[in-house]
Structure 1
Amino acid sequence: MNPNLLKQLAMVVKQGSISAAAEQLFITQPTLTRSLQQLEMRVGAPVLARTRYGMIPTEIGARLAQIGERILAETEQGDEVIRQWHSGYDNQFAIGIDPLWEYATVAEMTSGFLSQNRYVFHCRVGSAATQIEWMQGGELDFLLAPAHLSVAHASGSQGALQREVVFRDRSGVFVGKQSRLLGSQQPISPDVLEQQRWLIAGASAGFLSGVEDPAAQQAARIAFTGGIRSVIHLLNTTSMLVRLPARLALMTTEIDPQQMIQVEGQTSARRDIALWSRRQDSERPDSQKVREFIRDWVTGLDHSVGEFGLDL
C-alpha cells in the first residue's frame, strides 16, 4: 500500500475536512479526493463519513489513520533532522526529565543544554513509570529520574539500562501552610500523622509497590503523577501533607523550609536522582560525550546547591 494514502487520510481526520487537509498537504482538493477514493477501492469500504461536525473516520478508517499519523510524525521528524544538519548540529538526543527535577532546576538545566552548541536536545517530562517505558522502548537516550526505581517488571529488561547516581537527596514530609504542624521543632509521632489529610505525589502515587507511610497511604484522598504544580498549590493553600524528595522540593523556593517536619522514630529514605542510559549506547562516541556532559553538569549542581540540613 502506498504510505502517502495513509498519510493523507490521517491529515483529513486531523483537520476534519478535505479542503483544510489539502491545504496542509500542499495538494489540490481534487487530488486529495482521488487519493481517498483510491484508498477506499483498496479497502473495499468507506474510510470517512461526512457529519454535521466534519469528516470523521469509519472504524477501518480510524485504524488506518493511526498508521498514517505515525507516518506523518516520522516524515516531520525527517524534515527536522535535515534542518538540524543544515544548521550544523551533529546529533539529536531525547532526554527524559522527572517533573520535580524540571521544576526545581529549570534555569540551570536549560542554560546547560543551550551551552552545548553541537547537539539538539528534546526534553520530555513525565511520570517515572512512563519515562522508564520510553527508555526501554528506545524513545529516550537518557533519563534524569529517581535512582530507586525498580524496573524488573518490564519484560525482564532491567539489564539493558544502567544508572549512575548524580544528585543526592532524601525524602521529607511536608505540611501545608494551613496545618497546625507547620514549623514544628520536635519530631511528630506516627499516631499524629495518621490523623492528618494526606496527598500522594510522584512515584509513590502508583509506580512503586508501596510508600514509606502506610498510614498516609490509607488516608490519602488525592494523588498526582507526572506533574508538581498542583502539589505545590495544595501545600500553599491547605493543611494536607505529602512526602517529597526534600532537597528538590526546597530548591523550588515555593516550599518554605518550615513546612518540612521530622517524623518520630523514622529515618528519611534516600531519594537520589540518577542518570539512566542504555548499555547498548555506551560505546557510541557522541552518546558518551553527552552522557559525560550531563553527568558533570548534574554532579556540579549537586555540590553547589545547599543541603538544607539533610544528611546527604
Structure 2
Amino acid sequence: MNPNLLKQLAMVVKQGSISAAAEQLFITQPTLTRALQQLEMRVGAPVLKRTRYGVTPTEIGVRLALVGERILAETEQGDEVIRQWHSGYDNQFTIGIDPLWEYATVAEMTSGFLKQSRYVFHCRVGSAATQIEWMQNGELDFLLAPAHLSVVHASGRKGSLEREVVFRDRSGVFVGKQSTLLGRQQPVTPQELQQHRWLIAGASAGFLSGVEDPAAQQAVRIAFTGGIRSVIHLLDTSDMVVRLPARLALMTAEIDPQQMIQVEGQISARRDIALWWRAEDSERPDSQKVREFIRAWVMGLDKTVGEFELGL
C-alpha cells in the first residue's frame, strides 16, 4: 500500500475536513479526493463518513488513520534530522525530565544544554514511572528522575537500565500558607498531621510509603502526577499538606522555608535524583560524551546549591 495514502487519510481525520486537509498537505482538494477514492478501492469499503460538520472516519478508517499518524510523525522526524544535519549538528538526544526537577532547574538546565553546540536536545517532562517505560521502549536516551524507582515497577525488565545518583535530596513535609502549622518550630506529631487535609504529588512514582507518611492512614482526595504547578499553587493559597523532595521544592523559590515542618519521630527518606540510561548505549561514543556532560553539570549544581539544613 502507498504510505502517502495513509498519511493523507490521517490528515483528513485530524482536520475533520477534506478541504482543510488539502491545504495542510499543499495539494488541491480534487487531488486529495482522488487519493481517498484510491484508498477506499484498496480497502473495499468507505474510510470516511460525511456529516453536517465535516467528515469522520469509519471503523477501518480509524485504524488506518492511526497508521498514517505514525507515518506522518516519522516523516516529520526525518525532515527535522535533515534540518539538523544541514545546520551542522551531529546528533539529537531525547532526555526525560522529572516535573519538579524541570521547574526548579529550568534556567541552569537550558543554559547547560545550549552550551553543547554539536547536539540537539529534546526534553520530555512527565511522571517518572511513565518515563521509565518510555526509556525501556527506546523513546528516551537519558532520564533525570528519582533514584529510588524500581524498573520492575515500570515493565518488569529489570537490568536493562543503569543509573547513577547525581543530585542529593530528602523528602520533606510542606504545608500551605493558610495552614495553622505554618512556621511551627517544634516537631509536629503524626497524630496531629492526620487531622489536616493532604494532597499527593508523584504518587504513581512510588512517592508515598505507609511507614513514612501519616497521610497514608486516610484517604487523600486530590493527587497530581506528572506536573507540579498545581501543587505549588495549592501550597500558596490553601492549608493543604504535601510531601515533596525538599531541596528541589525550596529551589523553586516559590515555597517558603517556613512551609517545611518537622515530623516527630521521623527521619526524612532519601529522594535523590539519578541520571538513567540504557545499558545497551553505554559503549556508544556520542552517548558517553553526552552522559558525561549531563553528569558533570548536574553534580556541579549539587555542589553549588544550598542544602537547606537537610543533612544531605
**TM-score range with shorter-chain normalisation?**
over 0.9
Alignment check: 8 A CA contact 2:133 2:155 kept: no
Amino acid at match of 2:215: A
Partner of 2:290: 290
Identity of aligned residues (%): 84
Q: How does 1:42-61 map to 2 (within 5 A)?
A: 42-61=42-61
Name whichever of 254-263 and 36-45 sits farther off.
Answer: 36-45
Q: How does 1:1-312 map to 2 (within 5 A)?
A: 1-202=1-202, 205-208=203-206, 210-212=208-210, 213-217=212-216, 218-312=218-312
Provide the rounded CA distance (Å) in 1 between the counterparts of 2:241 and 2:141. 35
Provide the rounded CA distance (Å) in 1 between the counterparts of 2:271 and 2:146. 6
Amino acid at match of 1:300: G
SS at match of 1:294: helix
Provide the rounded CA distance (Å) in 2 between the counterparts of 1:208 and 1:100. 15
User: 1:154: how far off?
Assistant: 3.8
SS at match of 2:88: coil
Alignment check: 8 A CA contact 1:194 1:219 kept: no
Are residues 227 and 292 of structure 1, via their aligned partners in 2, closer, same or farther at CA, if it must alter by over 3 Å?
same
Are residues 242 and 154 of structure 1, via their aligned partners in 2, closer, same or farther at CA, if it must alter by over 3 Å?
closer
Deviation sequence 1:202-248 (CA, Å, 0-9, x none)? 1xx23428525453132421000010010001001111100000000
Amino acid at match of 2:292: E
Provide the rounded CA distance (Å) in 1 between the counterparts of 2:105 and 2:213. 30
Amino acid at match of 1:308: F
Name whichever of 260-269 and 16-25 sits farther off.
Answer: 16-25
Provide the rounded CA distance (Å) in 1 between the counterparts of 2:278 and 2:239. 42
Q: TM-score normalized by structure 2?
A: 0.97
Provide the rounded CA distance (Å) in 1 between the counterparts of 2:290 and 2:213. 40
User: 1:30: how far off?
Assistant: 1.4
Provide the rounded CA distance (Å) in 2 between the counterparts of 1:182 and 1:26. 60
Amino acid at match of 1:194: Q
Provide the rounded CA distance (Å) in 1 between the counterparts of 2:288 and 2:191. 50
User: 1:55: how far off?
Assistant: 1.1
Uncovered stretches (5+) of structure 1, i.e. residues with no partner:
none
Alignment check: 8 A CA contact 1:197 1:219 kept: no
Deviation sequence 1:29-84 (CA, Å, 0-9, x none)? 21111110111111111100111221111111011000000000000000000000
Amino acid at match of 1:196: H
Provide the rounded CA distance (Å) in 1 between the counterparts of 2:105 and 2:207. 28
Are residues 145 and 239 of structure 1, via their aligned partners in 2, closer, same or farther at CA, if it must alter by over 3 Å?
same
Provide the rounded CA distance (Å) in 2 between the counterparts of 1:214 and 1:266. 9
SS at match of 1:157: coil
Alignment check: 8 A CA contact 1:95 1:123 kept: yes
Provide the rounded CA distance (Å) in 1 between the counterparts of 2:220 and 2:78. 46
Q: TM-score normalized by structure 1?
A: 0.97
User: 1:128: how far off?
Assistant: 1.1
Provide the rounded CA distance (Å) in 2 between the counterparts of 1:45 and 1:233. 52
Are residues 210 and 184 of structure 1, via their aligned partners in 2, closer, same or farther at CA, if it must alter by over 3 Å?
closer
Q: Considering only aligned residues, what root-mean-square deviation do their CA atoms show, in Å? A: 1.1
Provide the rounded CA distance (Å) in 1 between the counterparts of 2:112 and 2:53. 47
Provide the rounded CA distance (Å) in 1 between the counterparts of 2:94 and 2:155. 22
Provide the rounded CA distance (Å) in 2 between the counterparts of 1:109 and 1:292. 15
